[in-house]
Structure 1
Amino acid sequence: MSDASRTTLALQMVRIGVAGVLGIHGYARAIAGGVAPFGGFLEATGFPAGVVLAWAITIFEMAASLCLAAGRGVRIVAPGFIGILAMGILLVHRSAGWFVVGLGRNGSELSVLLIVCLVALMVSTPGRVRTAG
C-alpha cells in the first residue's frame, strides 16, 4: 500500500469515526425524547425559540453526519459541527474543566479533539477552496 493510500484510508477512518460520534448525539436525542429538554436548556441559557433551535441542531447532526461519513460536503458541514461543539464548550464543558473523566467530569477535551479532527478533515478534503472576488 502506498503512502498516499495509507493517508487516504486513515483520513476516511477519522471522517467516519467523527461522523459516528457526532451523529449519534442527534439520533439519540430524537429517539429518546431529548429534544424538548435540550430546547428548555437553550431557552434557560438565553436562546429564543429553544425547542425550534434544538430541533434544528438535532436534524443538522443527523443529516450532516451522514454527509460527513460519505465524504460529501465536508467543508460545508464541518463548520456547523465546529459551531455546535464550540457552543457546547462555552455553555457546558468550560465550567467543568478540561477532563471528561479521571481528574474531572464532562470537561472540554473531547470537544476540542473533535474540533481539531474536523479542521484536519476540512484542510485535507480535495478540491479548490473558492473565495469571493
Structure 2
Amino acid sequence: MHDALRVLRIVTALLFMAHASMRFVNGSIPQFGAFMESQGFPHGQAWVLAITCCELGAGSLLIINRGVRWAASGLAVIVAAGIWLIHRHSGWFVGEHGTGGSEYSVALLAMLLVVAAHDAAAASRRDSRTDEADPHG
C-alpha cells in the first residue's frame, strides 16, 4: 500500500509541476492574470505568479516527502478555487465529451485529499510511537 501511495504522491506532484511550468513555457501568465482581474482579484499577474510558485513549491515538497499534508492541502485549495472560478462554468467533462469541465480537477482534488490524509495518519502513528517511547511525555 505504501508503494501505491508513494506513486500517487509523486505523480500528483509531477502533474502540478508540469501544469505550472507550462505557464512560463507558453507565456500564459499575462492572460491568466487578466482573467484573475476580471474575476475581481487585484494584481492578477501577482496572483498567478503566487499560484504558480505554490504549485511548483508544493509539488517539490510532495516529491521529497516533506510537509506533505500542508503541501497537498495548499494545492487542494488552489484546485477548489479553480473549480469554482473556471471549470464549473464548462460543465463536468474534459476531453471527448467536453472542454474545460471539472472532471479532471475533481480527480486531482481526490488525489490530494488521499495524499494529505495518508500523511496525517502516518504522522499520528509516528507521534503515538514517540509518546510510547518517551515516558516523560
Q: TM-score range by the shorter chain?
A: 0.7 to 0.9
Amino acid aligned to 1:117 = M
| Alignment partner, residue 47 of structure 1 | 41
- Unaligned 5+ runs, structure 1: 1-6
Q: CA deviation at 1:24?
A: 0.9
| Alignment partner, residue 6 of structure 2 | 12
SS across alignment from 1:106:
coil
Query: TM-score under structure 2 normalisation?
Result: 0.84
| Alignment partner, residue 99 of structure 1 | 93
Q: How does 1:50-129 map to 2 (within 5 A)?
A: 50-125=44-119, 126-128=122-124
Decide which structure has greater helix share.
2
| Alignment partner, residue 134 of structure 2 | none
Match of 2:23 among 7, 29, 33: 29
State the alpha-carbon separation in 1 of the partners of residues 85 and 43 from structure 2. 17
Q: Which runs of 4+ in 1 moved over 2 A?
A: none
Amino acid aligned to 2:42 = P
Amino acid aligned to 1:82 = A
| Alignment partner, residue 32 of structure 2 | 38
Query: TM-score under structure 1 normalisation?
Result: 0.87
Could you say what the CA RMSD is over the residues aligned between the two structures, in angstroms? 1.6
Find the structure with the greater CA-based Rg.
2
Q: CA deviation at 1:103?
A: 2.2
How many residues align structurally? 124
Q: CA deviation at 1:44?
A: 1.0
